[in-house]
Amino acid sequence: MSHRSHRREFLQTSTAMLAGAAMPYWFTSASSLALGRQSVNDRPVLGCIGTGDRWNAVGPNAMEFSDCVAVCDVDRQHLEKGRDRVKGIQSKKGNDAEIGMYEDYRKLLDRKDIQVVTIVTTDHWHSKIAIEAMQAGKDVYCEKPLTLTILEGKQIIKVLNETKRVFQVGTQQRSEMSANDGKVQNQFLKAVAIARSGRLGKINKVTCGINGAPTSGEIPVADIPAHLNWDMWLGQAPMTPYLQGASGNNKSYPESRTHYEFRWWYEYSGGKMTDWGAHHVDIGMWALGMDSSGPVSVEGTAEHPVPFENGMPTISNRYNVATKFDVTAKFANGADLLITSEGDNGVLIEGSEGRIFVNRSKLTGTPVDDLASNPLPESLLRELYKGKEPKGGRNAHMQNFFDCVKDRGLPVSDVYSHHRAMTTCHLANIAIRLGKKIEWDPKTEQIINDKDAAKWIGREQRKGYEINISV
């Protein structure tokens, strides 16, 4: 389906089934929760699923446009900190309502009063929670990367089309990043507009520098913390002992399988390929005009910190995602998109008539300098921003989401384009894990000419945590 037909679907009105309200898993008293209360000034009612570190840059932003009534996390320490921060923010606005606390996200989704949810969990939980949130009639803001596999992206899109919910992915580079000196606003949007306007000529190559991943030592088995529901944290991933070691690459967290360090395990994430790749590959494909399509082949080389057999790590007590990599995705129009751990973090866009480089602190190149005398047309920026006026600033991405919740428009970081960017990232990981060239049909969204590789579009999910959506 085209972006235009997707937008028509979003603009149609629909009614979704809402589940019955439920008492929180943890609560102080039934009378203190004010279930079903109206939001202050009729603002949307918010529920926050996942309240760890990253949520601190998402939940408070959402509360600028909504009123939070419940938080959820499988780590009780994160849950209580989230509850306390919500109460602190909202009490300053005269809202002293108690906040429901849940360990099980399904109990939060059961609440009829909640209209919007933020999902800021580990990567391997994003898709299942997002699907069930849409089915429960909620609009969704979910952090990137949205998916763990290509199949999950297809499943999310099917449910999105069925439920007609508003869904923004947390790839904030599409909205609000600005240079450190504050002089460059929307530099990623401007970079894409320069490329899409033809000012670089024919785009030949885009290079996405996303840096490498850390390694770890052997991480010992440890007791599961009393405040953590380890079984539910694992979710669809295989059951495994809880591991925790000494401080490693991250001063805030010890080496482990959990919290921030989950990114370095293929069981829960895709390493830098889906971490920073979710940002920069998204911008690269947007610049190429391939954000509704995909590559025709992907191949590359990588270094992994542990031995692999048939694409799977053979050691289970050390980080296992690729530490170094160089991958090339080829598109039918002749352009190449390179994903590399080498060089500067950012996106280099090269065309027959010029080149530009963009990252979170700068936008450079002669075509950028030329904007002083030949600015980009505002109509192009609005078109790329899905028909809305790009505003830039610290919280523009969240504002875009809530604007779309109000008018049922398509957010700038929509699921359809994000799925295509993540497909390229997932194909890159399949290629480097199997050590082979992957041929891809972007129309049928299938790996071709390789039955063994084609199995990697999805993966086995632990019983009780499956996503049961046929596509």
DSSP 42: G
- CA distances to 217, 223, 244, 285 from 241, rounded to whole Å, are 16, 9, 10, 39
Residue 417 one-letter amino acid: S
Cα 153 to its chain centre, rounded Å, is 11
What are the pLDDT digits (tens) for 235-291? 999 999 999 998 878 888 899 999 999 999 999 999 999 999 999 999 999 999 999
For residues 98-114, give the mean pLDDT. 98
Long-range contacts from 102-105, C-beta under 8 angstroms, 24+ separation = 102/24, 102/25, 102/26, 102/70, 102/71, 102/72, 103/25, 103/26, 103/72, 103/73, 103/74, 103/76, 103/79, 103/229, 103/232, 104/25, 104/72, 104/232, 105/49, 105/72, 105/129, 105/132
Contacts of 91 (CB under 8 A, 6+ apart): none
What tokens does 447 get? 């790996």
Integer angstrom CA distances of residue 444 from 157, 205, 271, 296, 334 = 14, 25, 26, 11, 20
The H helix count followed by the E strand count for the chain is 15, 19
H helix or E strand, kind and range, residue 77: helix 76-91
Which pLDDT score is estimated for 40?
54
Position 183 confidence tier, pLDDT thresholds 50, 70, 90: low
Alpha-carbon span 124 to 81, nearest angstrom: 23
pLDDT tens track for 288-335? 999 999 999 999 999 999 999 999 999 999 999 999 999 999 999 999
Q: Is the pLDDT of residue 211 over 50?
A: yes
pTM (whole model) above 0.85: yes
CB 197 within 8 A of CB 42: no
Both tokens assigned to 162: 């069925």
Mean pLDDT computed over every residue of the chain: 91
Strands 324-330 and 336-340 come out as: antiparallel
The span from the CA of 61 to the CA of 49, in Å, is 14
Tokens of 221: 């088995």
**For the structural domain made of 3-174, what CATH number should be given?**
3.40.50.720
Q: Where are the domains of the chain?
A: 3-174
